[in-house]
Amino acid sequence: MTLLGTQDLSADSQGIAKAADLLRQGLLVAFPTETVYGLGGDARNGDAVASIYEAKGRPSFNPLIAHVASTETAKRFVEWTDQAELLAQAFWPGPLTLVLPLRSDHGISSLVTAGLDTLAVRVPAHPTARALLAAFDGPVAAPSANPSGQISPTTAAHVRAGLTGRIAAILDDGPCGVGLESTIVGLTGAPALLRPGGVALEQIEEVMQANLHHHQPGDLLTAPGQLQSHYAPDAPVRLNAESCQGDEVLLGFGTVTCDLNLSESSSLPEAAANLFAALHKLNETSRPIAVSPIPNHGLGAAINDRLRRAAAPRD
Ligand code: AMP
Ligand code: MG
């Protein structure tokens, strides 16, 4: 993606309306949250999410947090639970992310979830973030707005230094937050602290113990706390395949005859956007999966990283 420049937008109603409009067009906007500046893209638009990875130069696909304006909006995408309600009432808007099962009609790009059937979602407290999300009225995937491997940005100047020319706009509202990430709590099984962050574990424990009579002190900490962030198909995966062997189905890239093509036009962003849905689909055939060679530059590095993990020997 070539952009002539990155617009500076001020955090007034005109700037926010413009930013929401850019998000609707599938473009990227950096915006302040109470943790750090986030690099936002429409979470339902695979191309937009692929361009987040491209802009950051991230060498791997980790699931991203979907930011929404309200609990009501969150419920459009995830299966809501009593525990979620309790924590949302206590800590939203704020630096708490909840991981919940996706609804069947979610419409979220599988590049946001990295192929998982769960979604990390939060309602940020920063007034400008809230205004943008309300104007956009949809889920915004937003990792920190810095090139991969660099320090998280807490000012628009940090964002500008790292991402100028790579994103459509920066919504500038001065310094934000303290650079502390959101706390992540998994609610897909027993509640589990997946990552410590801006909301203290003790605060969460207090709310849960006061309201859930079977919740014991320490439950959140002693829960397995697995950051389940790696989708892998059940079928064996063979990389750099020029053609199929035996019973294999071929996941192609570019001009090859194959069962499913990540991108006929050899576009790496398109391939990234299609990657997880394609793996899920071929996995359903219960046949081994062969994958065409994918160039290792740009988003190809992250695609290959994920494919190598899928191909690695399993326990
Ligand atoms: P951040 O670095 O603040 O953008 O947050 C992203 C973090 O959320 C990553 O460490 C992910 O592993 C975690 N995360 C996002 N989605 C999920 C999910 N569905 N299940 C578990 N962890 C998740
Ligand atoms: Mg980061």
CATH number at residue 84: 3.90.870.10
In a domain, 193, yes or no: yes
How much is the pLDDT for 2? 46
How much is the pLDDT for 1? 47
Number of domains in the chain: 2
In a domain, 183, yes or no: yes
- Measured in Å, residue 13 CA sits from the centre of ligand 1 at 31
How much is the pLDDT for 216? 75
Q: Please indicate, yes or no, whether residues 21 and 148 belong to a single structural domain of this protein.
A: yes
Q: Please indicate, yes or no, whether residues 124 and 12 belong to a single structural domain of this protein.
A: yes
Q: Please indicate, yes or no, whether residues 210 and 250 belong to a single structural domain of this protein.
A: no
Q: Please indicate, yes or no, whether residues 206 and 252 belong to a single structural domain of this protein.
A: no
Per-residue buried b or exposed e for 35-71, using 16+ beta carbons within 10 Å of the residue's own CB: bbbbbbbbbbbbbbbbbbbbbbbbeebebbbbbbbeb
The residue among 182, 214, 246 that closes a domain is 214
Q: Please indicate, yes or no, whether residues 149 and 291 belong to a single structural domain of this protein.
A: no
In a domain, 206, yes or no: yes
pLDDT digits (tens, 9 = 90+) for 127-146: 999 999 999 999 999 999 99
Probe target for ligand 1 pocket from 35, 61, 62, 77, with the most ligand atoms within 8 Å of CB: 62
Q: Please indicate, yes or no, whether residues 29 and 145 belong to a single structural domain of this protein.
A: yes
* Low-confidence spans in the chain with pLDDT less than 50: 1-2
In a domain, 67, yes or no: yes
Q: Please indicate, yes or no, whether residues 291 and 190 belong to a single structural domain of this protein.
A: no
184 close to ligand 1 (CB < 6 Angstrom): yes
In a domain, 220, yes or no: no
102 close to ligand 1 (CB < 6 Angstrom): no
Q: Please indicate, yes or no, whether residues 200 and 258 belong to a single structural domain of this protein.
A: no
- Measured in Å, residue 309 CA sits from the centre of ligand 2 at 21
How much is the pLDDT for 224? 56
160-164 LR contacts (CB < 8 Å, sep 24+) = 160/6, 160/8, 163/6, 163/30, 163/39, 163/55, 163/56, 164/5, 164/6
Q: Please indicate, yes or no, whether residues 52 and 179 belong to a single structural domain of this protein.
A: yes
In a domain, 232, yes or no: no
In a domain, 223, yes or no: no
227 close to ligand 1 (CB < 6 Angstrom): yes
In a domain, 1, yes or no: no
Domain containing residue 12: 7-214
Q: Please indicate, yes or no, whether residues 36 and 165 belong to a single structural domain of this protein.
A: yes
- Measured in Å, residue 196 CA sits from the centre of ligand 1 at 12
- Measured in Å, residue 146 CA sits from the centre of ligand 2 at 7
How much is the pLDDT for 137? 96
40 close to ligand 1 (CB < 6 Angstrom): no
Cα–Cα dist 99/112, whole Å? 13
Q: Please indicate, yes or no, whether residues 210 and 256 belong to a single structural domain of this protein.
A: no
Cα–Cα dist 244/258, whole Å? 9
110 close to ligand 1 (CB < 6 Angstrom): no
How much is the pLDDT for 225? 52
Q: Please indicate, yes or no, whether residues 167 and 260 belong to a single structural domain of this protein.
A: no
119 close to ligand 1 (CB < 6 Angstrom): yes
